[in-house]
Amino acid sequence: EKVNVAVLGATGAVGRTMIRVLQERHFPMRSLKLLASPHSVGKVIDLGSKSGVVEEFSVAALKDVDLVFGAVDNDLATEYAPLIRRSGALFVDNSSAFRLDPDVPLVIPEINARDIRWHHGIVANPNCATILAMMALSPILKLTPITRMIVSTYQAVSGAGMKGMDELERQIRDPSAAPEVFPFPIAFNVIPQIGEFDEAGISSEEWKMQNEGRRILHEASLQVCCTCVRVPVYRCHSESIYVETHDAVSLQTIRQAAEDCSGIILNEAPYPTPKECTDSDIVMIGRLRRDGACENGLHLWCCCDQLRKGAATNAVQIGEWAWQNGLLKKGV
Ligand code: 2RA
């Protein structure tokens, strides 16, 4: 049976990408509602063959909706979530409001789709940087558990939404334009801060990666250390990852495992770059090599489109899995 879908936050960079991905993947939609907070009401969104007008989020607007994809900030997601749950629709939420809630599964379908089974009306979409790291490690995770992970990220400005992309463009044209979105000028620069720092000097983005990775892998004691960095790239995140594995695995075995993992491509000719991954759903990995000091240590490089697999596509895949397994409208 086809599904009545709503995209909440339909005017933002992730919301617009969700709409595009739903159409491209021929999601079995009976209807598509475009919802947003009051200030976006009335905006017109291009839906390819036609256009759609954004409606204000309300309980009445949720009537008959089976599945809501959320691309709004934490405050709105927290305000709207109880209303969506009460309506009976499944809420696939891209904010970070529920990602660490033990009652809410946090899912990358290629890794832990089965967690969707125990949802209570909300499934959380992980942070884009977490999705990239977990997807890139999926061939290794198929072979052996990971005991330690050190990640340095190179995150695109799209992670801060359309306003982040606008700020980069503005500063490329006028390098003296004052920063409004990022703490320092982003054009021709690199900023080792995403989110706010805590008293230990760890940023909120770094905490997200650590805690979300542990939840997705069901490895509460996994050692994770991250340095999250904003770079002047429009919409594709990259990461340099070091992992220590429980068992020794050869590079050849990992290469073979990568061929069997969906959603990733190993590109060693010579390596992936963010530009080549832009507008693709594939996570690319490369520069796979052994560590010189630690016997079970491995290094790799990876890239993926932050707006697609890092956000919209992952959310739509969650919706697809829930639909295929009869997990919409659980009547919570
Ligand atoms: C960023 N991870 O790149 C965030 C977006 N979810 O800013």
Task: Looking at the structure, tell me whether residues 166 and 75 fall in a common domain.
Answer: no
**Could you confirm whether 120 is annotated as catalytic?**
no
For residue 267, the model assigns a pLDDT of 96
Domain that holds residue 137: 129-305
Which of 93, 227, 306 has most ligand 1 atoms within 8 Å of CB, for mutation? 306
What's the CATH number where 18 sits? 3.40.50.720
pLDDT exceeds 90 at position 48: no
For residue 8, the number of C-alpha atoms closer than 13 Å in the C-beta half-sphere is 30
Task: Looking at the structure, tell me whether residues 140 and 206 fall in a common domain.
Answer: yes
Is pTM, for the whole model, over 0.90? yes
Q: List CB contacts of 58: < 8 A, sequence separation 6 or more.
A: none
For residue 1, the model assigns a pLDDT of 86
Tens of pLDDT, residue by residue over 239-295, are: 999 999 999 999 999 999 999 999 999 999 999 999 999 999 999 999 999 999 999
Task: Looking at the structure, tell me whether residues 134 and 252 fall in a common domain.
Answer: yes
Asked if the structure places residue 133 within a domain, the reply is: yes
Q: What is the rounded (10 degree) CA torsion for 17, 19, 23, 29?
A: 150
pLDDT exceeds 70 at position 332: no
**Could you confirm whether 218 is annotated as catalytic?**
no
For residue 142, the model assigns a pLDDT of 96
Tens of pLDDT, residue by residue over 165-223, are: 999 999 999 999 999 999 999 999 999 999 999 999 999 999 999 999 999 999 999 99
When pLDDT is averaged across residues 37-44 and rounded to a whole number, the result is: 92
Tens of pLDDT, residue by residue over 71-128, are: 999 999 999 999 999 999 999 999 999 999 999 999 999 999 999 999 999 999 999 9
Q: Which range among 46-60, 128-142, 171-185 shows the weakest confidence by mean pLDDT? A: 46-60
- Between the CA of 203 and the centroid of ligand 1 the distance, in Å, is 12
- Specify binding-site residues: 11-14, 99, 155, 158-159, 230, 306
Ligand 1 within 6 A of 15 CB?
A: no
Q: Within its chain, how far is the Cα of 125 from the centroid?
A: 6
Task: Looking at the structure, tell me whether residues 232 and 249 fall in a common domain.
Answer: yes
For residue 56, the model assigns a pLDDT of 95
- Between the CA of 73 and the centroid of ligand 1 the distance, in Å, is 12
Asked if the structure places residue 332 within a domain, the reply is: no
When pLDDT is averaged across residues 37-61 and rounded to a whole number, the result is: 92
Ligand 1 within 6 A of 129 CB?
A: yes
For residue 330, the model assigns a pLDDT of 55
- Specify binding-site residues for NADP(+): 11-14, 158-159, 306
- Between the CA of 156 and the centroid of ligand 1 the distance, in Å, is 8
| DSSP, res 130 | H
Q: Quote ipTM for the complex.
A: 0.96
Task: Looking at the structure, tell me whether residues 153 and 284 fall in a common domain.
Answer: yes
Task: Looking at the structure, tell me whether residues 116 and 169 fall in a common domain.
Answer: no
Asked if the structure places residue 99 within a domain, the reply is: yes
What percentage of the chain has pLDDT greater than the value 70? 99
Which of 17, 94, 96, 128 has most ligand 1 atoms within 8 Å of CB, for mutation? 128
Task: Looking at the structure, tell me whether residues 134 and 98 fall in a common domain.
Answer: no
For residue 49, the model assigns a pLDDT of 84
Confidence of residue 27 (pLDDT cuts 50, 70, 90): very high
Asked if the structure places residue 218 within a domain, the reply is: yes
Asked if the structure places residue 330 within a domain, the reply is: no
Number of independent structural domains in the chain: 2
Asked if the structure places residue 331 within a domain, the reply is: no
pLDDT exceeds 80 at position 331: no
Task: Looking at the structure, tell me whether residues 119 and 34 fall in a common domain.
Answer: yes
What's the CATH number where 219 sits? 3.30.360.10
Task: Looking at the structure, tell me whether residues 87 and 184 fall in a common domain.
Answer: no
Q: Give the residue whose CA is nearest to atom 3 of ligand 1.
A: 159
What is residue 160's three-state secondary structure? helix
Task: Looking at the structure, tell me whether residues 102 and 247 fall in a common domain.
Answer: no
Asked if the structure places residue 329 within a domain, the reply is: no
134 and 217 in contact (C-beta within 8 Å)?
Answer: yes
Asked if the structure places residue 211 within a domain, the reply is: yes
34 and 10 in contact (C-beta within 8 Å)?
Answer: yes
Task: Looking at the structure, tell me whether residues 57 and 181 fall in a common domain.
Answer: no
CA dist 70 and 251 (Å) reads 39
Which atom of ligand 1 is the closest one to the Cα of 94? 6
What is residue 299's three-state secondary structure? strand
Task: Looking at the structure, tell me whether residues 42 and 164 fall in a common domain.
Answer: no
| DSSP, res 192 | -
Instruction: Report in angstroms the alpha-carbon separations of 211 from 93, 110, 208, 237.
Output: 17, 19, 5, 19
For residue 69, the model assigns a pLDDT of 98
Q: Phi-psi category of 227—alpha, beta or left, where left has phi over 0 and alpha has psi -120 to 50?
A: beta
